[in-house]
Amino acid sequence: MSSARALSTFADVMRTFEGKNRVIDPLLASESHALDGGVLTLDGVGSFMNRASGLGLGGAVSDTTLASFEAFYAERNTEPRIVVSPYADPSLSEQLAARGFTFRGIEQVYAHRLDDVTTAPRAATDDVEIRRLDRDDPSSIELYARLATAGFAEPGEEVPESWRRVARKRALLPRFEAYVAVVSGEPVGAGGLCATCGSATLVGTSVAPAFRRRGVQTALLRARLARAKQLALPIAFTSAFAGVATERNAQRLGFFLAGVRLIFARSGEGLVGLLRR
């Protein structure tokens, strides 16, 4: 089956995205556990990697599966949190509701078919330069980890070390490329390209607050789209929460909304929840 035919519907696109996450997430977490076609991951107190994903994509979800999911996190004093695909079996959402899980947010998944992308990287403005980092240089990895997470903190807030730890792990994954945006010689933003599992995922796109609204994020997106095209990949993904700059810039560059993933969690005494989204 051709890659174009395999990605002919929104359901195909989302299943490709979910399948890639089931491969990559365990590589980024300190602990993981396969469960009924999905994966449970954990990476320290309050980490955004503390989540289950992929459950329900293979059919009905049993009570035993949900009990195992809850026990995995309860044994680690962590709030059970799950990302639910729109193509998960309805039994998953029904059981989550019955067990007292509440809605926590929406992750929007965007996709771009790469057959109409130019292979020439182009910055959004003349003063933005995009550089690929050397993954064999520890200082470059540290620079990427700092820049790729800094833009997600509110002014005056510290970025959790767990975020940087995940960024460092990601930068060393096979077929991962880290990029920085430079303005007047100063690194001001970063983004990654994960070219595994037959598709590209643009991750960790972050720009320092002082340099926003200057085309930096758009330049990072364009450069990585062009690189994905050079690698002969059929499709690229990125994801974002509603209302953020990534959502707007991705749509301007031709990304389409492939689907949304719903986030649910359940609070409990002694269970630590997500410290930062």
Domains of the chain with CATH codes: 3-108+260-265 (no CATH), 113-258 (3.40.630.30)
Angle (nearest 5°) at CA 76 between 266 and 276 = 55
Which segment of 36-40, 208-212, 216-220, 260-264 scores lowest on mean pLDDT? 208-212
Confidence of residue 221 (pLDDT cuts 50, 70, 90): very high
Determine the average pLDDT of the residues in 215-240. Answer: 94
Segment of 3-17, 106-120, 132-146, 238-252 carrying the highest mean pLDDT: 132-146
Q: Can you give the pLDDT at residue 1?
A: 40
Say if CB 238 and CB 13 are below 8 A apart: no
Contacts of 139-147 with C-beta under 8 Å, sequence gap 24+, read 140/178, 141/168, 141/171, 141/172, 141/178, 142/168, 143/180, 143/187, 143/190, 144/168, 144/171, 144/178, 144/180, 144/190, 144/192, 144/204, 145/171, 147/180, 147/187, 147/188, 147/189, 147/190, 147/206, 147/208
Query: Does the global pTM surpass 0.75?
Result: yes
Q: What percent of the chain has pLDDT over 70?
A: 91
Task: Determine contact, residues 262/83, Cβ cutoff 8 Å.
Answer: yes
Q: What mean pLDDT comes out for the span 229-239? A: 94
C-alpha span between 137 and 118 (Å, rounded): 30
pLDDT in tens, 53-103: 999 999 999 999 999 999 999 999 999 999 999 999 999 999 999 999 999
In the chain, pLDDT over 90 holds for what percent of residues?
A: 71
Q: What would the mean pLDDT of 243-263 be, rounded to a whole number? A: 89
Which secondary-structure segment (H or E) carries 161? helix 161-171
